[in-house]
């Protein structure tokens, strides 16, 4: 069993981007610039945005953190996003979700120019991904592909079972893994809460993507020996023994499942860091696209 080490691969991706960014600077080219919008002060959101900003500075990207108060109106936020859309120096825009209830997530996402939509959440980005046109892949599934690619895991003709059909992970990764390119060309089965025979289907899988958000859901008796298991879950569980007061659990019972796998991602240190690496890749590509424009 080999660990799919997201920390290590994310670091490798970031170092590659760092070198390319230094080269751009030397050649007098534009440096990638990510604008992150954080509304209110949700603990998890603070952590995510902080590590995105930190990654930018490690790589040498510019970043702008825009903090807005919880009670900002929808139209004020839309104005802010339009400003960022029009700002030539900003390559990528991300609005950390979730949003306060009085703001429409749909409206916010659709306001960001698809050319700056480095989260890959705009319907146009999603549609282009489905159709195989150049676009930004959503960060988490893109991070999973980068991870499989780094470990040169064969995907062609393999049976991938995706548990979960969310817009941000399950649905897009199921589409990406069945595309006619590497990593892809899998036979893909999408399972969800209405799948009656999940265990039976998982036992057929060469690759399992667990993205349902139920801690330690995937058990050893659901996994075929030699399979590749990617754990997308990150649920915070109260834990008084930890300084933070919580511990992070994935969707896979790692202790029991890992001995059966050829490859498996740990939680934390698997998909999580790859999500940020993928976001950095998207930001770099958004900047690159301006060279060509």
Whether 96 is catalytic:
yes
Q: Footprint of a copy of itself on residues 90-109 (CB under 8 A)?
A: 106
Q: Which of 86, 152, 180, 292 binds a copy of itself (CB under 8 A)?
A: 180
Helix (H, G, I), strand (E, B) or coil at 75: helix
Which of 5, 91, 117, 119 is catalytic? The answer is 119
Q: Which of 101, 157, 225, 291 binds a copy of itself (CB under 8 A)?
A: 157
d(CA 83, CA 81): 5
Whether 221 is catalytic:
no
Q: Which of 175, 211, 261, 281 binds a copy of itself (CB under 8 A)?
A: 175
CB of 70 to a copy of itself, least distance (A): 26
Q: How many CB atoms lie within 10 A of CB 261?
A: 23
Q: What does the block give as tokens for 53? A: 């900003």
Cβ distance 155 to 184 under 8 Å? yes
Q: Which of 27, 88, 101, 196 binds a copy of itself (CB under 8 A)?
A: 196
Say which residues have a Cβ less than 8 Å from residue 113's Cβ, sequence separation at least 6: 85, 93
Say which residues have a Cβ less than 8 Å from residue 260's Cβ, sequence separation at least 6: 1, 220, 223, 224, 225, 226, 227
Q: Tell me whether residue 36 or residue 186 sits nearer to a copy of itself (CB atom).
A: 186
Which of 5, 80, 96, 116 is catalytic? The answer is 96
Size of the site for a copy of itself (CB under 8 A): 38
Whether 131 is catalytic:
no
Buried b (16+ CB within 10 A) or exposed e, 184-197: bbbebbbbeeebee
Tell me which residues are annotated as active site. 52, 96, 119
Q: Which residues make up the interface to a copy of itself (CB under 8 A)? A: 106, 122-133, 156-157, 159, 165, 167, 171-172, 174-175, 178-180, 185-192, 194-197, 201
């Amino acid at each position: 069993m080999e660990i799919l080490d997201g920390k290590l691969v994310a670091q490798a991706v970031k170092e590659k981007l760092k070198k390319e960014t230094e080269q751009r600077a030397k050649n007098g080219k534009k440096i990638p610039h990510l604008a992150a919008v954080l509304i209110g002060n949700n603990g998890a959101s603070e952590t995510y945005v902080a590590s995105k900003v930190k990654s930018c500075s490690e790589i040498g990207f510019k970043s702008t953190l825009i903090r807005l108060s919880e009670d900002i109106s929808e139209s004020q936020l839309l104005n802010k996003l339009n400003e960022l859309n029009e700002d030539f120096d900003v390559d990528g825009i991300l609005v950390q979700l979730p949003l306060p209830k009085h703001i429409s997530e749909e409206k916010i996402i659709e306001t960001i120019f698809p050319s700056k939509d480095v989260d890959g959440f705009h319907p146009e980005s999603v549609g282009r991904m489905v159709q195989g046109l150049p676009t930004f892949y959503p960060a988490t599934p893109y991070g999973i592909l980068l991870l499989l690619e780094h470990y040169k895991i064969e995907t062609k003709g393999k049976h991938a079972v995706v548990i979960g059909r969310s817009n941000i992970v399950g649905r897009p990764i199921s589409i990406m893994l069945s595309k006619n390119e590497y990593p892809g060309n899998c036979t893909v089965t999408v399972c969800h809460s209405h799948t009656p025979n999940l265990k039976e289907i998982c036992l057929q899988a060469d690759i399992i993507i667990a993205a349902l958000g139920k801690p330690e859901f995937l058990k050893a008796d659901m996994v075929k020996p030699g399979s590749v298991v990617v754990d997308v879950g990150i649920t915070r569980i109260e834990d008084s023994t930890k300084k933070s007061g919580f511990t992070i659990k994935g969707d896979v019972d790692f202790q029991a499942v890992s001995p059966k796998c050829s490859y498996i991602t740990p939680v934390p240190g698997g998909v999580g860091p790859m999500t940020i690496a993928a976001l950095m890749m998207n930001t770099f590509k958004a900047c690159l696209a301006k060279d060509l424009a």
